[in-house]
A and B are shown apart, each in its own frame.
Chain A
Amino acid sequence: MPSSDGSRLLEATGLWRAYGRRQVLRDLDLAVAAGEAVAVAGPNGAGKTMLLRVLAGLARPDRGEVRLEGRPLRRDAPHVRRAVGLVSHQTLLYDDLTLHENLTFAARLYGLPTPAAAARAALDEAGLGPRADESPRRLSRGLAQRAAIARALLHRPRLLLLDEPFTALDAAASERLRAELGARRQQGLGIVLVTHQLAEAWEVATRIAVLVEGRWACNEALAGSLEGFLPRYQELIRA
């Protein structure tokens, strides 16, 4: 649940970002408290992925600022980045290394005390223990996605950014991810979840935000049923 003192885990204010000549983000604000999960939906090209990249510090906003736990992301970058985990469209894994080597490498980058053991535990938790010595290129899309999620959660981030995490996951894996995200949120993890799959988002999120042409068409606490929201959603993205 959201932090009782209302302290902001993530605070983005006045974000502007262009991609070539196209303005992708337009004066966007977003605040996420510890234990809060924001689902970001919207049509293709609305700027959802760029928003995640800016929040992760991978892309610099043209204007505006992102603060994590009160500290500016750009200025204190190495320390602040430790708080962030990212599941993107791609796995961020090296095909020439095994899964275990990939996660051990990531654990070393984050300075975890026992990198090999942490990697093994994360793979076991993701149900990938038996595949630990295989290359990511030998995994199915769904298993690779599970490995990517294991990598993102390896260093116990306080803010998790997910871009279409349910893509290619089977029903059991989706259920497991929803449970995992729910449990971590209860422990105070802040989540920003970009998705087209509103049904999945409805089970994970505490807030729904709809991005249309780089602006919030809505950003509000989740209330009521998904069926009740869908007609309004269609209207928002059509507008």
Chain B
Amino acid sequence: MPEWLRLALVIAGKDLRAELRSRTAILSAVVFAALVLVVFNFARDPTALAAVDLAPSVLWVTFALAAMLALNRAFTIEQENAALDGLLLAPVPREALFAGKLLANLAFVGTVEAVTLPLFVLFFNVDLGAALPGIIGVTALATVGFVTVGTIFSAMAVRTRFAELMLPVLLLPFMVPPLIGAVQVTARLLAGRPLSEMLGWLRLLALYDLVFVILCALVFTAVVDE
């Protein structure tokens, strides 16, 4: 196994262990996601708009907002006792540190999404059926994109005085492209449309992932170094 990958897994493992111990981020993100779904469920007029028409937007707004809560935790845990200094002092390439934090965040947000999806089906009475593998695929594709950007902004925001406020302000504009793509693909999947109708959006999501994974890994050093 390459050394950078070993170090990334060590860092991700530490974050997961700390989160399993405290359950701060995952629990609050899951509760928050459930509350958002409840609010959307009761705020909708069922006579004016069918659940299936609103469902893709609701699903992705819920994923995005819940992810924001989970991402906030990524670097606030490093602020405790200046633990980030310990990481930066260790012989760990910054790219490995970024990869470790990204892997941990993907695991957090993926867990939140995995719990939220059945709740969404329950509240909106949507029959995922044959669309489920596609929904999982597009969720993975979009999540990689916004979690990558979220990881770098979380590292930036934590050095500011209002980290919890700064992260949404920085991240939401960058979340728009993957959210638009994910909503479009989800809507077509739920409507049973053929794959050819979604290829353009899927390419956009894949390109977004590729560009931002490379870009964020490159700028991470400048973000964490004083």
Q: Could you mark each residue 70-85 of chain A with 1 if its beta carbon is under 8 Å from any beta carbon of chain B, else 0? A: 0000000011011010
CB contacts between A and B, total, < 8 Å: 76
Option from A94, A105, A109, A110 in Cβ contact (under 8 Å) with B80: A94
**Which residues of A from 75 to 106 have beta carbons under 8 Å from B?**
78-79, 81-82, 84, 86, 88-97, 101, 105-106
The 17 sampled A-B contact pairs (Cβ below 8 Å) are A57-B88, A58-B85, A60-B226, A81-B90, A86-B89, A88-B82, A90-B81, A90-B85, A91-B81, A92-B85, A92-B89, A93-B81, A94-B77, A96-B77, A97-B18, A101-B17, A111-B91
Q: How far is the CA of A53 from the CA of B7 in the complex (A)?
A: 23
Given contacts A108-B10, A151-B86, contact A82 B91 (CB under 8 A): yes
Q: Could you mark each residue 51-91 of chain B with 1 if its beta carbon is under 8 Å from any beta carbon of chain A, else 0? A: 00000000000000000000000000100111101111111
Q: Which residues of A contact B88 (CB under 8 A)?
A: 57-58
Closest CB-CB distance, A104 to chain B, in whole Å? 9
**Tally of contact residues, A, Cβ under 8 A:** 31
Q: How far is the CA of A153 from the CA of B57 in the complex (A)?
A: 53
Is B132 an interface residue, CB under 8 A from the partner? no
Is B93 an interface residue, CB under 8 A from the partner? yes
Is B14 an interface residue, CB under 8 A from the partner? yes
Q: How far is the CA of A53 from the CA of B85 in the complex (A)?
A: 9
Given contacts A94-B77, A96-B18, A97-B17, contact A109 B83 (CB under 8 A): no
**Tally of contact residues, B, Cβ under 8 A:** 26
Is B92 an interface residue, CB under 8 A from the partner? yes
Q: Which residues of A contact B22 (CB under 8 A)?
A: 96
Q: Which residues of A contact B45 (CB under 8 A)?
A: none
**Which residues of B from 12 to 52 have beta carbons under 8 Å from A?**
14, 17-19, 21-22
Option from A53, A91, A109, A136 in Cβ contact (under 8 Å) with B90: A109
The reply to whether B86 and A106 form a contact with Cβ atoms under 8 Å apart is yes
Q: Which residues of B contact A91 (CB under 8 A)?
A: 81-82
The reply to whether A136 and B85 form a contact with Cβ atoms under 8 Å apart is no
Q: Which residues of B contact A111 (CB under 8 A)?
A: 3, 91
Q: How far is the CA of A22 from the CA of B116 in the complex (A)?
A: 50
Q: How far is the CA of A88 from the CA of B84 in the complex (A)?
A: 12
The 5 closest A-B pairs by CB, nearest first: A92-B86, A96-B18, A90-B82, A109-B90, A59-B226
The reply to whether A78 and B92 form a contact with Cβ atoms under 8 Å apart is yes
Given contacts A92-B81, A96-B18, A97-B18, contact A58 B226 (CB under 8 A): yes
